[in-house]
Amino acid sequence: MNNALRTAEARIREQIAAHCEANHVPGFVAGVHHAGEQVVVAHGTANVATGAPMREDTGFLFGSVTKVLTTTLVLQQVDRGLLDLDAPVVKYLPDFALTAPGAADRILVRHLISHTNGIDADLYFPDAKGRDALKTYVHGLASTCGTLFEPGEQLSYSNGGMIVAGRLLEVVTGLSFHDLLAREIYAPVGMKDSSTSAEQAILRGTAVGHFPDPETMAARPTNMFMLPDTWGPAGGTPIGTVADLLAFGRTHLAGGVSPSGTRVLSAESTALMQQVSYDMATPNVPPMGLGWVRYPFGDATVLAMSGASPGGVSLLCVLPEHDLVFAAFGNTPGAIMLQDQILRWLLSEHLGVPIPRLVTEPDQDVDLTPYVGTYRSNQLRVEVSIVDGQLEERLTYEPADESQERIFTEFAGGMTSGPPQRYVPVRPGLFAPAGYPLETFDGYLRLLLVSYHDLRDGRARFRNGGGRLTRRA
């Protein structure tokens, strides 16, 4: 191992130990592949109920990192001539419909994997298991979920789009999504410890998520290991290790060729996934490729996707121009802070990439009135008002039924609402949560910023928080 990577390993180990102890993170595992060499560092406990240690080969839920795997599967079928990115989804999936008549007919295959489809289903959690789970999900959309915008008009992080893409894959290949994932991604990439079910994962060491106790802040295990099978293609069910994610990242680093030399995806499709497909031109929503989110860090671009699971968070980053892949998992939601810290250290110290300040100074002269109002999306209401010269947001979860309320409540660790959050203006249409140091937003946590879009008659039509749109009611 070269000295630079050995130094990085030691520094990452120090960062993990310090952060986990100070912030009640039970366990954390991270890996870096750079210029042909690789290190994996594990720390702490995989499950506080059993005391099982977090090991370098401990498995964990990929969460939404799965979306890049799903997109890769879609592009494989494009390579094989079974799918056309610019064809309507209903060409292949005639039973795909939404509550608005004809709305689904205008959604193209490309829109599903570029988060530009407008499907308003981000909190839609139908509870179904087995081979027909994705069929059940798509069937339920017709009577449950509408649209936020016309396809291609805006960008909004879309779980629903990826799940529809998963069902589309089942129809054109004749295989279940899980079987397709195992055959076309896990096997050729060399993801030897990856699986698609809790039944498989329990046969080897697997971490569980944790949530902070409201009173003591000590970590307690989640009551739900994974989301229903209906959420598989969006990140509900796939499980694997850091080494497996590094192997997948290396495949995209190498133009679609796996570490073992197997061609997984054409060079053209691999490049297409990495190109900008939509750019909202706002700092809190990085340009979107196909599957990948393109985070600009000065002159460097980080292809990334993070993944929340019940009480855990994963991250996969690929830096093509620096021949580096970074993957990590922490088994409490706050571990994303540590992932951001390590990513920024790798960029600035290990690679020598200057990270410019994203937010310099708040702007006190911004007129706040265009942003006041009520914004809604599937089962979510956001009330925006002006309090003491700042914007104040109140988020309210509005469950559609008892089953979805149960699933979402468990996924969120019992917390479905928080206190009102104040925001200070950065510039017209862009706001930062009050009380945070401005350097917080230079890295991955730029997602904490909130933006407003499409002003009409002096009022914003959309709010974007965490990459997700809500529409003015």
Share of the chain above pLDDT 90, in %: 92
Beta carbons of 194 and 239 less than 8 angstroms apart: yes
**Which residues does residue 147 pair with via DSSP β-bridges, in sequence order?**
119
- Stretch(es) of the chain classified as CATH 2.40.128: 369-472
Rounding to the nearest 10 degrees, give the CA dihedral for residues 80, 85, 88, 90: 40
CATH number of 1-356: 3.40.710.10
pLDDT at 428: 95
**Residue 379 φ then ψ, to 5°:** 65, 20
353: pLDDT strictly greater than 90: yes
Cα first-last separation, the chain: 57
In 248-355, which ranges are E strands?
293-297, 300-309, 312-319, 324-330
- For residue 77, what pLDDT band results from cuts at 50, 70 and 90? very high
The DSSP code sequence of 160-176 is HHHHHHHHHHHHHHSS-
List the one residue out of 196, 318, 183 whose CA is nearest residue 264.
183
> Cβ neighbours of residue 433 under 8 Å, at least 6 residues apart?
421, 422, 423, 424, 448, 449, 450
- For residue 364, what pLDDT band results from cuts at 50, 70 and 90? confident
List the one residue out of 43, 31, 42 whose CA is nearest residue 5.
31
List the one residue out of 358, 238, 354 whose CA is nearest residue 305.
238
For 180-218, the pLDDT digits (tens) are 999 999 999 999 999 988 899 989 999 999 999 888 888
pTM (global) more than 0.95: yes
Sign for the CA dihedral angle at 196, 198, 199, 201 comes to: positive
Q: What angle do CA 468, 326, 348 make, to 5 degrees?
A: 90
SS in 3 state form for 371-431?
HCEEEEECCEEEEEEEECCEEEEEEEECCCCHHHHHHHHHHCCCCCCCCCEEEEEEECCEE
418: pLDDT strictly greater than 90: no
List the structure tokens of 331. 């088994």
- Stretch(es) of the chain classified as CATH 3.40.710.10: 1-356
Pairing of strands 293-297, 300-309: antiparallel
360: pLDDT strictly greater than 90: no
Kindly state the average pLDDT of the residues 421-437: 95
CB atoms within 10 A of CB 436: 14
274: pLDDT strictly greater than 90: yes
Beta carbons of 167 and 267 less than 8 angstroms apart: no
CB atoms within 10 A of CB 197: 15
- For residue 153, what pLDDT band results from cuts at 50, 70 and 90? very high
- For residue 287, what pLDDT band results from cuts at 50, 70 and 90? very high
pLDDT at 3: 85
pLDDT at 414: 82
Residue at token pair 């998963």: 166
CATH number of 369-472: 2.40.128
| Residue 47 half-sphere exposure toward CB, CA atoms < 13 A | 14
Q: Is 331 helix (H, G, I), strand (E, B) or coil?
A: coil
For 204-257, the pLDDT digits (tens) are 999 999 999 888 888 999 999 999 999 999 999 999 999 999 999 999 999 999
pLDDT at 215: 82
Share of the chain above pLDDT 70, in %: 100
In 93-200, which ranges are E strands?
none
* Enclosing H/E stretch for 250: helix 242-253
For 3-52, the pLDDT digits (tens) are 889 999 999 999 999 999 999 999 999 999 999 999 999 999 999 999 99
114: pLDDT strictly greater than 90: yes
416: pLDDT strictly greater than 80: no
- For residue 171, what pLDDT band results from cuts at 50, 70 and 90? very high
| Residue 348 half-sphere exposure toward CB, CA atoms < 13 A | 12
Beta carbons of 424 and 431 less than 8 angstroms apart: yes
List the structure tokens of 73. 């599967």
- For residue 107, what pLDDT band results from cuts at 50, 70 and 90? very high
For 298-310, the pLDDT digits (tens) are 889 999 999 999 9
Measured distance CA(233)–CA(253) in Å, rounded: 22
Beta carbons of 246 and 191 less than 8 angstroms apart: no
178: pLDDT strictly greater than 90: yes
pLDDT at 216: 83
Kindly state the average pLDDT of the residues 378-398: 96
For 445-454, the pLDDT digits (tens) are 999 999 999 9
List the structure tokens of 48. 């506080």
Pairing of strands 450-456, 430-433: antiparallel
List the structure tokens of 354. 């200057």
Arithmetic mean of pLDDT over the chain = 96
423: pLDDT strictly greater than 80: yes
pLDDT at 362: 84
Beta carbons of 148 and 469 less than 8 angstroms apart: yes
361: pLDDT strictly greater than 90: no
List the one residue out of 383, 437, 66, 89 whose CA is nearest residue 235.
66
**Residue 454 φ then ψ, to 5°:** 60, 65
Instruction: Give residue 199's identity as a one-letter amino acid code.
Output: E
